[in-house]
């Protein structure tokens, strides 16, 4: 089972030079950076606004520099939060463009397939934002486990995010060829393989820079996984 999953990943990595892959990757990174810079700026501005330009302190009188101090104090927090949020935000943006990646994979490896079911923009937006919120909430909750089980924190991170990535990408890819109920059944039947593939996608999440490739590679890998499990007799075209 692991060997086939690794073969799916290698096919996805081998297609990174595809212009459609590059466009989705660069667009996702640019949009994520723009959003995170805006989040950091808003956080710092909010801190300076709450403190106010002048604060009266006992024995010191009026102090005019506390707002700037509060803003600068939040810079490290904003940077850490941006690193933490970069991958789920990039994944959410990539989810909005997953169909482009899946189409590129199918055009190259499964050219005899009929056209996929068009997934509406509203449905895609709802699923992507729901995934973003779920990843942030679950990882925030997992911080408690990281603190109490520090020696196993990395393995917990991989297991939790492997489950999340596997669930979401399998669902998104399956919805192009199935109804929502059928996609849920597909995930249930193949949950072990989907979780394993998700874990192999989650491992690079802990490597800076490399983690930015995960959304695109994940979308492509799960497209291969879906076709291999959905129609076991189908073999990807040799490229």
Q: Could you read off the pLDDT of 164-223 as tens digits, one per residue?
A: 888 888 988 898 888 889 988 999 999 999 999 999 988 887 777 777 788 889 889 999
pLDDT value at 64 more than 60: no
Q: Which of 230, 185, 223, 234 is nearest to 99 (CA)?
A: 223
Query: What integer pLDDT is reported at residue 61 of this predicted model?
Result: 46
Banded model confidence at residue 226, pLDDT cuts 50, 70, 90:
very high
Determine the Cα–Cα distance for residues 205 and 199; give it in Å rounded to an integer: 10
Whose tokens are 């075209």? That residue is 237
Read off the pLDDT of residues 10-21 as tens digits, 9 standing for 90 and up: 999 989 889 999
Mean pLDDT of all residues in 52-61: 51
Main-chain dihedrals φ then ψ at residue 56, nearest 5 degrees: -95, 120
Determine the Cα–Cα distance for residues 8 and 217; give it in Å rounded to an integer: 10
Read off the pLDDT of residues 159-177 as tens digits, 9 standing for 90 and up: 888 888 888 889 888 988 8
Banded model confidence at residue 225, pLDDT cuts 50, 70, 90:
very high
Determine the Cα–Cα distance for residues 121 and 128; give it in Å rounded to an integer: 10
In the chain, where the domains are located: 2-230
pLDDT value at 140 more than 90: no
* pTM of the predicted structure, to 2 decimals: 0.76
**Cβ contact 53:64 at 8 Å:** yes
Q: 138-163 burial, b if ≥16 CB within 10 A, otherwise e? A: ebeebeeeeeeeeeeeeeebbbbbbb
């Amino acid at each position: 089972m692991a060997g086939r999953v690794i073969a799916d990943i290698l096919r996805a990595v081998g297609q990174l030079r595809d212009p459609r892959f590059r466009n989705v990757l660069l667009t996702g990174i640019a949009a994520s950076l723009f959003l995170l810079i805006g989040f950091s700026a808003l956080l710092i501005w909010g801190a300076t606004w709450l403190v106010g330009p002048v604060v009266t302190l006992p024995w010191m009188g009026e102090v005019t520099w506390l707002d700037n101090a509060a803003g600068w104090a939040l810079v490290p927090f904003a940077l850490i939060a941006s690193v933490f949020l970069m991958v789920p935000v990039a994944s959410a943006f990539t989810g909005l463009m997953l169909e482009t990646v899946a189409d590129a994979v199918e055009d190259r490896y499964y050219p005899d397939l009929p056209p996929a079911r068009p997934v509406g923009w509203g449905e895609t937006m709802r699923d992507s934002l729901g995934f973003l919120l779920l990843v942030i909430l679950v990882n925030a909750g997992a911080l408690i486990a990281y603190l109490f089980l520090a020696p196993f924190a990395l393995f917990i991170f991989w297991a939790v995010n492997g489950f999340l990535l596997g669930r979401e990408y399998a669902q998104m890819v399956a919805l192009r060829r199935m109804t929502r109920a059928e996609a849920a059944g597909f995930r249930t039947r193949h949950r072990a393989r989907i979780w394993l593939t998700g874990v192999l996608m989650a491992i690079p999440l802990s490597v800076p820079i490399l983690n930015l490739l995960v959304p695109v590679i994940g979308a492509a890998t799960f497209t291969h996984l879906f076709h291999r499990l959905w129609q076991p007799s189908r073999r990807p075209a040799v490229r």
